[in-house]
Amino acid sequence: MLRLSAIGVVILAVIGCFAYVGGWLTPGRLTPARFVDKFEQVFGLHPGFRRNHAKGVCIAGYFDGNGRAVRLSRTDIFNAVHVPVIGRFSLAGGDPYAADGPGAVRGMGLSFSLPDGEEWRTAMVDLPVFTVRTAQGFYEQLAASQPDPATGQPDPARLKAFLAAHPETARAMGIIKSQPFSSGFANATFNSLDAFRFVNAAGMPTPVRWSMVPVQPFQPEPAAGAQPQDKNYLFDAVITAIERGPLQWHLIVTVGQPSDPTNDATIPWPANRERIDAGTLTINHVGGEAPGNCRDINFDPLVLPSGIARSDDPLLSPRSAVYSRSFTRRAGEQKQPSAVRVPDTGGGS
């Protein structure tokens, strides 16, 4: 009887251990699933769409490395090679039918395909710094922005309480507001925000951040109220521009010093850091989201080739986890057409 009980205890302990690791015993723990649930609560459930950056359009082109970043990273992308790229322009937020407007954060997701089958994926936005340092902070910010069912608007008191508890967010908002946004996707600078590590052929790591800096000249965003009233004016403008001719960005790598924080995306690095122009991105195709194109790609920022590695930035692993969960949910759902329509000119990919 004693032995039988011992067997029972062992079996229950094993099951209990699995249940604990799987999060079933701690319903309050923040998990990828609960994170994605929050997006669905705040923005509504839109089956088939990304839970964040839901509104978007597919782009494609190529990247030409110039060899200048090879001393920092051994990835072939930075050699003088020509690599096919597919990507996506998007608006931040989980509403696929959101109206384009001033202050809407814009995203650029890219996937570089190396000849040997490796890939580099990056998801950038046109903010100079990120608004939160951790996944927990992002979750709280998201929760604070949830519309009050009574008014349909976020509760200002909750937002205020969030900012009071997160001085780093208040500081980051100050930096973001001090710089004008560009007038469109084509002339926007897209930033990695998170820090990464480049690792060269000798195995030496270097902390870096990167940006896609447009060749197209900067124009400031029109003041609120002065922008076009069309719901898709930002997307329509970039679609028209690409159909007229290729758009280009320089991949600018900012080289961090040991004193620069790699674990805090809310803090800018000093302006005098070395910046390397590692190559040129050319976008010459645009197409509506469709089966098998950018719609069905998860621009997971931790899909990295050998020579680019994650840093200790606490946002990176949670981003990978939550993007993956969002991708898994939407992959199995019936797809709806995107609000962004691309005239059929034979382009796209």
Partner 1 sequence: MARQRQFTVLSRVLHWTMAVLVVAMLLIGVGMVASLGNYHLLVSIHKPLGILILILVAIRLVNRLLNPAPPLPDHMPAWQRLAAKGSHVALYLLMFALPLVGWAMLSAADYPIVLYGSLHLPAILPHDAMLYAGLRKTHTVLAFLLFATFIAHLGAALLHALIHRDGVFDSMAPWKARTTDAVTERVRN
Between 148 and 296, name the residue whose CB sits nearer to partner 1. 296
**Shortest distance (Å) from residue 130 CB to partner 1:** 16
Task: Indicate the length of the chain as a whole number.
Answer: 349
**Shortest distance (Å) from residue 349 CB to partner 1:** 13
Q: For the chain, give percent helix, strand, coil, nearest 5.
A: 30, 25, 50
Element (H, E) at 11: helix 2-21
The answer to whether residue 53 is catalytic is: yes
Cα dihedral value 177, 97, 122, 129, nearest 10: 10
CB 254 within 8 A of CB 271: no
Between 200 and 320, name the residue whose CB sits nearer to partner 1. 320
Buried b (16+ CB within 10 A) or exposed e, 305-344: bebbebbebbbbebbbbbbebbbebbeeeeeeebbbebee
Between 149 and 291, name the residue whose CB sits nearer to partner 1. 291
SS3 98: coil
Cα distance between residue 250 and residue 42, in whole Å: 35
Binding site for partner 1 (CB under 8 A): 3-4, 6-7, 10-11, 14-15, 17-18, 21-23, 29-33, 35, 116-119, 135, 291-292, 295-298, 300, 302-303, 305-306, 310, 314, 316-318, 320-322, 324-325, 327-328, 330-333
**Shortest distance (Å) from residue 44 CB to partner 1:** 21
Between 272 and 334, name the residue whose CB sits nearer to partner 1. 334
**Shortest distance (Å) from residue 48 CB to partner 1:** 9
**Shortest distance (Å) from residue 194 CB to partner 1:** 12
Between 102 and 314, name the residue whose CB sits nearer to partner 1. 314
Cα distance between residue 47 and residue 179, in whole Å: 35
Of the residues 53, 166, 250, 285, which is catalytic?
A: 53
Residues marked active site are found at 53
